[in-house]
Structures are given as C-alpha cells and as structure tokens.
Amino acid sequence: MSREKIIFAEFLFKNILPAVEEAIYNQIKLLIINIMKCNNPALSGNRCNLENHILRHLAIQEEFKSYTEYIDNPKLYFQSFIGEHVETFCKDYRKLQDMFHGNLEEIKFRILRICTEVSEEVNLKNGNASMWLDHFCTKLGDHMVINRQSLTSIQDEDIRNTKFLKDMMAKYLEEVVKSENMEKVDTSSQHLCLLKEKITEILFKQLEGCWAQCPFCNAICTNTMSNHTDDHRVQFHRSSAIGKVPYHKTDEFTIDFCTTNVSSDGSFIILPYKKRIPYKSYRDGGDPYDKWSITADGSTQGYWKWFVCRFQKEWEHRCELKFKGKGVIPDSWRKITKESIYNYHLSWGKKV
C-alpha cells in the first residue's frame, strides 16, 4: 500500500476519533438514564415520587444532619441524592465495560458500512478524495459531528481505489476497542467522572419541578412545571415547627399544620412591619402568601410529627426555639413509630 494512502487513512481516523468517542459516550449516557429511569423506583416517577423516596431514605438513615441538609437546601439535597444513585449504578464497572464495548461494536459496523457505501458511490461517479470525504462526512453526520474543514489537507490526495479505506478503518477501530478510554472504566477515569456528572445533571433536570416553598412550613410545591402560572400547592404540608415559626414574641414553636392553621382564628405576623394577617385570609399577606393555595382540610401526616419527637432537642437547638407552652408536643405524636411512617408510602397520605 502506498505511503499516501496510509497517511490519508491515518489522518482521517485521527480526526474522526474524538467524534467517535463522543458518540459512544452520548449513547452510553442515554442508555444509563433509560435503565435508571426504568429500574430505579425513586427515579421512575415525577419529582413528588422522588421526594417520597427521599423522605423514606431520610427516615431509614435517621441522621439529623441529613435532615437539615434536606430542609435547608432541598434543591442541593435532591441533586446529591440522584448523584448517589448514579454513583452506585456506575460502580458496576463490568456492566459499564460491556455497555461500552457493545456500543463501540455498533458504531464500528456503522462506520464500516458507510465506508463501503461511500466508496461504491464515488467509484461509480469516478470521483476523487474530496468527493469521498464529502459523502463520508454527510452520511456519518446523522450519527456524529465530523468537522469536514479539518480534513481539507488530505482532500487532494490521489486515492482512486478507496476500498483500502475500509480495511484501514476496521483496523483502527479495532484498536479503539482496546484503547485506554474504552478499556479502563474505573474510578480514575476522567471520562467516567464527566459521564456521571452529566447523567446526574440530566436526571435532575428531568425530575425538576417548581421549587417554591410554603411560606409557613417550607414544604416544596409539587407542581412538575418550574414556571407554572397557577397557585403553588403541596401534597402534604408539614408542622409549622419545620418552617421555624414561633408564637409572636415568644421562643415557643408553633406546631400546627398549615391545613389546620388556615381554618383557625389565629393570625400571623409579617416582618419587618409587624403586619398582622388572619390565617383565614392568609392571601392578604401578599407575595408569597397570595401565590399559594392551602386547603383547610385539617390533614396531617405522622412523618413530621415523628421527626419533631425524634429530633426535638436538636431542632430546638438549631432554631433557638422550644417545644413548650402553646407549642408543647402532644402525647399522641410520641406514639408514632418510625416503622409506621416509612413502611409503605400510602401511610403518608392518611391522617395519623
């Protein structure tokens, strides 16, 4: 084989290699996202379903620090929760390697098929290297982005018999299968780190919804659209103690749930002007209160009652408020067991 032909093939391959790798990583990325969304119950529904899994996970873990991370910065907590699941999935290097090899094989056959097709077309038209490269880049372009510009230096080569290209291409692609980026899928792989980051980012974006939080209890709006125009709503409000709301001019927590508060005769104070608003007309408080629809159905869940009993001291210390006076924890709350709140999701929807 002539030296020109070898240079041509080498140059061509060197230039399409990054696109080949990118195509493989893109396919793997989508594949992992699909598998995770199908097989991981936390990721197979909407944000509301994910949050239920997070609450369950927090209860099982039973660590105050994790709870504060979730309560203080839910967005960040959701992201790292998804990140941990991606991490776990990607720890199975054997499975990942099989995925990479499978994809590379697929791409290899595609490129070789295109090589043959293009060679036949160009030979029929008695075309030159430039025509061959044009056709090759166009056909491959449906699957990966090839920069035709970068190939101009070889387009004037005299390569009438283009059949050799397929053989050379096959040889090079075989080498990629064994190359470091594809073979060495382990913790030190930069490619894998980037891949995990990207997957986490995409899953988070897909599962993201509205992040508005109830002005009383901090529960996160359950609307799946981030910019919805109708009122914010939540599936379950929490005890106002989670929203760190004290009784006016005291260090006593308010512990009632929003669903009870909004039908009560009580009122709340808006700082800094100390404007007093009756709970029954909480929307008069203006933004953000008038953007929320809180149903006065009196529903409460055992989950947050269990939380304040379990972490009473820690929560008091953190908020510099006390569960005393009007905010004393009812005895009935202390009877709620951890098992009863996480054994099955549906229990969260029932009155406890």
- Residue numbers of the site for Zn ion (CB under 5 A)? 210, 212, 214, 216-217, 219, 221, 223, 232, 237, 258
Instruction: Give the strand pairing for 267-270 and 275-278.
Output: antiparallel
Q: How far is the CB of 321 from Zn ion (least distance, A)?
A: 17
Task: Report d(CA 339, CA 59) in Å as an integer.
Answer: 9
**Residue with the two structure tokens 């499975």:** 95
In the complex with Zn ion, the residue whose CB is nearer, 23 or 241, is: 241
Helix, strand, or coil (residue 153): helix
In the complex with Zn ion, the residue whose CB is nearer, 28 or 215, is: 215
259, two tokens: 């669903």
In the complex with Zn ion, the residue whose CB is nearer, 26 or 222, is: 222
Q: How far is the CB of 238 from Zn ion (least distance, A)?
A: 6
Task: Report d(CA 49, CA 56) in Å as an integer.
Answer: 11
Contacts of residue 267, Cβ cutoff 8 Å, sequence gap at least 6: 276, 277, 278, 279
Task: Report d(CA 242, CA 52) in Å as an integer.
Answer: 17
CA-wise closest residue to 70 among 235, 219, 170: 219
Phi, psi (deg, nearest 5) at residue 277: -120, 130
Residue type, 280: K
| CA torsion through residues 75, 81, 86, 87, sign | positive
In the complex with Zn ion, the residue whose CB is nearer, 8 or 257, is: 257
Q: How far is the CB of 242 from Zn ion (least distance, A)?
A: 9
In the complex with Zn ion, the residue whose CB is nearer, 221 or 255, is: 221
In the complex with Zn ion, the residue whose CB is nearer, 36 or 212, is: 212
Give the gyration radius of the chain's Cα atoms: 30
Task: Report d(CA 282, CA 289) in Å as an integer.
Answer: 6
Query: What are the distances in angstroms from CA 256 to CA 131, 239, 246, 350?
Result: 76, 5, 11, 17
In the complex with Zn ion, the residue whose CB is nearer, 47 or 237, is: 237
333, two tokens: 């709350």
- Angle, helices 3-39 vs 74-90, to 10°: value is 120
Q: How far is the CB of 52 from Zn ion (least distance, A)?
A: 17
Altogether, the residues listed in the chain come to a count of 352
Q: How far is the CB of 154 from Zn ion (least distance, A)?
A: 56
Q: How far is the CB of 295 from Zn ion (least distance, A)?
A: 10
Q: How far is the CB of 308 from Zn ion (least distance, A)?
A: 15
294, two tokens: 């809180």
In the complex with Zn ion, the residue whose CB is nearer, 59 or 258, is: 258
Task: Report d(CA 104, CA 163) in Å as an integer.
Answer: 22
Q: How far is the CB of 237 from Zn ion (least distance, A)?
A: 4
In the complex with Zn ion, the residue whose CB is nearer, 16 or 221, is: 221
Task: Report d(CA 258, CA 237) in Å as an integer.
Answer: 6
Q: How far is the CB of 233 from Zn ion (least distance, A)?
A: 7
